Structure 1
């Protein structure tokens, strides 16, 4: 009987040990190939160099973006690449005015500080819109966004998804500004992405491997 109990204990211990190893492998940052390495080393960048992104790199990022999968291949997105500093500054000014007196979260909570930039000083801003009549469009734009983030990182560029600015880009009070983006009436802006050459090296943040469960 004691031998049986001992064997059971060993089996349980080994089972738990294997489970721990699986979680360890999920948080290990060593990539198996270039694609995996790109995914594991991407970071959200909140400080950029003033150097503008070259058109050739933008074209590559946009090509990767539109090759994202979408339900029934409807491609229910509109993408606007903005490099006009005056236009970017106008959007930032509208956001600062909007944030005044409001309780904002994240970096937006510093909107009252001098020199604040909702786009973190990025020289390029990508504005993404979805088809309001397509129930899968929000997910599809998310897939497109991930292609933007990863392809940009692969080219030595930094990015940061910015959702807080959507509140002013969908506000009718700013229609004359948003109209310059020429977004179709049946589309709505859902996200912006800052893009440029990184001027910081953020450390990796904790990933919650326990949210992944293998059903064997």
Structure 2
């Protein structure tokens, strides 16, 4: 499929998030709900086959775009991909790129049959950054966190995906981004796997000694 012109998949899915009011989707006292959400979110690497509806995605994106950004530039482009053809092609290109290389984490298993760089999640979110904005990577990190926390609050699992980023930004793979109508002056900052969790991972160790209070 290299050099193939993909059918545009997402431009026809117009989300209503830009003008929609934000409503509470949690029960109970607000502070506890927010803090518990931060403490219980986990990176999910096993997903059920259950689909995520466009209405659910619309709700998630309403919360995502309220992320702060420097000077309110909002230097991101978000694409929510559900198309199996595009996802299969992305996985194939990662496998071609990975051949002979060594990775850490789940990507280290790329030689295993049925490997999926996005953990077979039904939804793949692309967060692209404005290359002309010097702080766009930081702003994309903020909207990433909004997506992770909002997904968890609405009953969905997520996993940030960084290993595939350099593959998507290679010049020979530009057609993947063109298929998603991502402008030429943007490249991929980070991706997110999204779906219904099929696991409940334990919390990993956090290092409080990395934080110092200077008085």
CA deviation map 1:87-137 (0-9, x unaligned): 111101110111111111211111110000000010000001001111111
Shift of 1:32: 6.2
Change in CA separation of 1:203 and 1:54 when aligned onto 2, cut-off 3 Å: same
Q: Identify the range of structure 1 (33-42 vs 89-98) with the bigger mean alpha-carbon deviation.
A: 89-98
Give matches, 1:105-124, under 5 Å: 105-124=104-123
Three-state SS of the structure 2 residue aligned to 1:33 is helix
Q: Extract unaligned runs of 5+ from structure 1.
A: 1-30
Higher helix share: 1
Q: In structure 2, what is the Cα distance between the partners aligned to 1:124 and 1:108? A: 18
Q: Name the structure 2 match of 1:125.
A: 124
Give matches, 1:1-216, under 5 Å: 33-216=32-215
Runs (4+) of structure 1 exceeding 4 A deviation are: none
CA deviation map 1:135-170 (0-9, x unaligned): 111100000000000000001100000011112111
Q: Identify the range of structure 1 (138-147 vs 162-171) with the bigger mean alpha-carbon deviation.
A: 162-171
What is the aligned-residue RMSD (CA, Å)? Answer: 1.3
- TM-score normalised by L of structure 2: 0.84
Q: In structure 2, what is the Cα distance between the partners aligned to 1:49 and 1:149? A: 18
Q: In structure 2, what is the Cα distance between the partners aligned to 1:155 and 1:32? A: 17
Q: Identify the range of structure 1 (114-123 vs 101-110) with the bigger mean alpha-carbon deviation.
A: 101-110
Q: Identify the range of structure 1 (165-174 vs 111-120) with the bigger mean alpha-carbon deviation.
A: 165-174
Shift of 1:214: 2.4
Shift of 1:176: 2.3
Change in CA separation of 1:215 and 1:177 when aligned onto 2, cut-off 3 Å: closer
- TM-score normalised by L of structure 1: 0.83
Shift of 1:210: 1.2
Bigger radius of gyration among the two:
1
Q: In structure 1, what is the Cα distance between the partners aligned to 2:169 and 2:133? A: 18
Q: In structure 2, what is the Cα distance between the partners aligned to 1:121 and 1:62? A: 21
Three-state SS of the structure 2 residue aligned to 1:190 is strand
Shift of 1:51: 0.8
Three-state SS of the structure 2 residue aligned to 1:200 is coil
